[in-house]
Amino acid sequence: MSHDSLLLSGAAWFGPDGTARAGDVLIQAGRISEVGRVAAPSGTERVDADGLVLLPGFVDLHTHLREPGREDAETIASGSRAAAAGGFTAVLAMANTSPVTDTGEAAERVLDLGRLAGLVDVVPVGAVTKDLAGAELAELALMHRSRARVTVFSDDGRCVGDPRVMRRALEYIRAFGGVISQHSQDPDLAGPQACCHEGELSGRLGLPGWPPVAEASIIARDVMLAEHTGSRVHVAHVSTAEGLDVVRWAKARGVAVTAEVTPHHLALGTELLASYDPVYKVNPPLRPTEHQEALREGLVDGTIDAVATDHAPHARHDKEHAFVDAAFGMLGLETAFAVVHDLLVRTGRMSWADLARVMSIAPARIASLGEHGRPIAVGEPANLVLVDPAAGLTVDRDSSQSLSRNNPWHARSFTGAVHLTILRGRPTAREGVPTAC
């Protein structure tokens, strides 16, 4: 059953100038058609939004959907369900699939599978280098010219380590307004099995460490390259205070740099690794409190532009190895809003307008998604999310929409939950449950 029109009655939201608004929002034919006191036409589905907050639909700059190649861990369809449940209306699907998204055809396939699932706009990210090998540029312009219109490129999972390759890539994509999302981690500054923040705990646990300088030094190099080439660089999952300082310095200098942070780097600390539970193994690694606090501050003050999930599903058996052998990554799509809301909005450190900025407006702008992260106003596309700031959420990994269970938030409780996700006027998830399509 589908409705042509949807009325959100009694919602609260924020106008383009940031002022608080309240009233009814009527959605017709995929767009916002009326706001204020609305008399809905007959046949309109009415949603009681009293006490709920209406935000532009969330945009995730950093999602791993595993298809093609590891459909046992996640598919574009299952990842889309998780995204819709989490309040997302667009996700950028990372290129490190098998085969890698390094051609226009591969990008179009991801786009098409996303459309087929129909719950969220799945936007393919293209590889920077062929097969993510870090040596030769992938077909960057062909990916951009494809139906997928790829503008974000990343070798995520690996750092583009060779400075000459990074320079050429930045120069090349400038022509069509692309951006490189860099996994900033100098592989030569750590051992091949590095998997823990380098510090006292990694020393005690005997786990090979990633020093913060491995992140900061690559960010420093890349912002200088961005300045030199006049191109855009985006820092994926910044995780250290040092890395953040470099971003802050580069922004002050006028470099075209943006940065994202994950909910887990904001809220989970290195100390969790003391259990050797591979669910906490992620790259970059969880950092100690002082880094978490610096990242929160950086997000609040705007140095960090966006929250991105780095949703990284893994089949159970890929996590059931010894810690150094287990796969990197954790789930994040379904919990991102609750974590950020509970940590920063509920505590008063961020406003609802800030939350809309970091989870929707800024990421949409970074990825050049014109139909997402838009103001709530008549005529705008109805890519929206309605959240309940008072609802309690206790995470149960077994009730996830993802095919995987590597959920570090399992059994944790949060205040704040996604109530309704709307993509082009159509509800895609209600209270964590995706709609059939």
* Count of CB atoms situated within 10 Å of the CB of 118: 18
The residue within the footprint of another protein, chosen from 56, 87, 124, 209 (CB under 8 A), is 209
Count of residues that interact with another protein, criterion CB under 8 A: 25
Least distance (Å) between residue 394 CB and another protein: 23
Q: Which stretch binds another protein (CB under 8 A): 53-61, 84-92, 206-214, 368-376?
A: 206-214
Residue type, 15: G
- Closest CB to another protein among residues 275, 399: 275
Residue 192 makes CB contacts below 8 A (sequence gap 6+) with none
CA dihedral 200, 206, 212, 215 (to 10 degrees): -170
Looking at 156, 305, 310, 342, which residue is catalytic?
Answer: 310
- Closest CB to another protein among residues 128, 268: 268
Chain mean position to CA 298: 17
The residue within the footprint of another protein, chosen from 192, 206, 254, 348 (CB under 8 A), is 206
CA dihedral 197, 202, 207, 211 (to 10 degrees): 40
Residue 13 found at the interface with another protein (CB under 8 A): no
Least distance (Å) between residue 319 CB and another protein: 8
The residue within the footprint of another protein, chosen from 120, 169, 207, 304 (CB under 8 A), is 207
Q: What residues numbered 210-229 form the site for another protein, per CB under 8 A?
A: 211
CA–CA gap between residue 263 and residue 253 (Å, rounded): 27
Q: Where are the alpha helices (DSSP H) in 154-288?
A: 163-174, 200-205, 212-229, 241-253, 263-267
Give the sheet arrangement for strand 58-63, strand by strand: 58-63, 88-93, 121-124
* Count of CB atoms situated within 10 Å of the CB of 36: 11
The residue within the footprint of another protein, chosen from 317, 396, 413, 433 (CB under 8 A), is 317
DSSP character for 342? I
Q: What residues numbered 238-297 form the site for another protein, per CB under 8 A?
A: 275-278
Q: Which stretch binds another protein (CB under 8 A): 23-31, 212-220, 299-307, 319-327?
A: 319-327
Residue 145 found at the interface with another protein (CB under 8 A): no
- Closest CB to another protein among residues 209, 434: 209
Pairing of strands 433-434, 426-430: antiparallel
Examine the residue annotation and report whether 310 is marked as an active-site residue of this protein: yes
Q: Which sequence positions are flagged as catalytic?
A: 310
Contact residues: another protein, CB under 8 A: 198-207, 209, 211, 275-278, 317-318, 320-326
